[in-house]
Every structure is written in structure tokens, then in C-alpha cells.
Amino acid sequence: MASRLYPKSQSPVSHVRAKDGIHPDELEQLLAKPTWSVESLLPPKTRAPDAPQISSKQLRHLLRLSALPLPESREQEQKMLDTLAAQLHFVGQIQKVDTTGVKPLVVIRDETKAAEGEQTITLETLKDALAKEKVVGKHHRRIQRDPTPVDARDVEGWDVLGSAERKAGKYFVVESERPQE
């Protein structure tokens, strides 16, 4: 197993051996210079020559297929064309990411039986919350919740990295199943 810090194609030092780890100072230096930016995903200020050209006819066809209203003016149509070009640029940049050897994400949540049991909400789970409610009114009954503020200091001060299996300084390390090269 390799510790993946960011994509190999973008990094001079893309992974380290899991058993060796990485010193927090080295990690700080490694992560000090970003390998990409959000700006790289945004469309250029001027349309690139290799950008896909979408015609008004294609835009109107897509709007009809999507059951969306057609533009009411030439300016609105141009704005839609610019938005679509920006979205296509974004998708094109995302498609350039090297995902060789990366397993597709099926779900974000844990779907084991244990996790399903933890996530199931029952009346017993809600017992404390329901105990704080009272019914008010004679003719138009409604539920009124206890307005007493909840002390959330213990929740806000939690250790974010506390449950991380692998850490390097103030960062968590994600294990990859990609074989060492």
C-alpha cells in the first residue's frame, strides 16, 4: 500500500512507503506549493481556440431536451452559451486527472451492517428529543420544543484528526491500494 498525498503526475514525490511514513517537516515542505488551483478549473478570460464551440441551434436543442425555457433575448442566449462553455471547460479539466489504478467511488457512506445499524433512527433514538417537546393549545394543538440552549463547546473543540488511522503532523494520510512502482 502506498500513502497517496496527491496525484503522481503532478508531484515530484508522489508517495512514500506506508511503513516508512513521512516526517511532518517534509510533509509541510511538500504541501507548501500547491500542484493545482481552483483557478485552473475556471474558464479562461478569453475563449481558448481549442474550446468546444456550441452553436445557438445546439443550445436551443439542449434546452428543449432539458425542458428549460428558451432565451428571451440575444444577450440571455450569449450568457447561456458562455455558461455552457465554462461548464464544458470545467468538465474537460476534471477529465484530465489521472485516475489510473483508482477504484471508482460507489458510495460515500459506510454501507456495512454495523454502520446501517448506527444510522438507523428509531423512537428509542429520538427519545431524548421527544421528551423535550410539549403539546400546547386547546383547539390548534402544536408541538413546542424546549428553547433551552445546548452547550456545544465539547462538540466544537473536538480533535479533527483524533479518529484518523494515519497522521503526519497536522495532516491525515490516505492509504491507496495502488502498487509501489
Q: Burial code of 56-79, b = ≥16 C-beta within 10 A, e = fewer? A: eeebeeebeeeeeeebeeeeebee
Q: Which grid coordinates are listed for 23?
A: 516526517
Average pLDDT over residues 132-155: 81
Q: Residue with C-alpha cell 477529465?
A: 95
Residue 4, pLDDT above cutoff 90: no
The residue that leads in pLDDT, 176 or 88, is 88
Q: Which residues contact 170 (CB under 8 A, 6 or more apart)?
A: 24, 161
Q: Which grid coordinates are listed for 6?
A: 496527491
- Per-residue pLDDT band for 35 (boundaries 50, 70, 90) equals confident
The residue that leads in pLDDT, 47 or 88, is 88
| Domains of the chain by residue range | 51-96
Contact criterion met (CB below 8 Å) for 9 and 62: no
DSSP symbol at 120: -
Maximum average pLDDT range among 44-58, 69-83, 149-163: 69-83
Proportion of the chain above pLDDT 90, given as a percent = 14
Residue 4: count of CB within 10 angstroms of its CB: 19
Rounded Cα distance between 15 and 9, Å, is: 11
DSSP symbol at 137: -
If DSSP codes are grouped into helix, strand and coil, which group holds residue 34?
coil
The residue that leads in pLDDT, 64 or 44, is 64
Which value, to the nearest 10 degrees, does the dihedral of the CA atoms of residues 66, 72, 76, 77 take? 60
Contact criterion met (CB below 8 Å) for 53 and 47: no
The pLDDT, as a whole number, for residue 3 is: 41
Q: Which residues contact 159 (CB under 8 A, 6 or more apart)?
A: none
Rounded Cα distance between 23 and 28, Å, is: 9
- pTM (predicted TM-score): 0.43
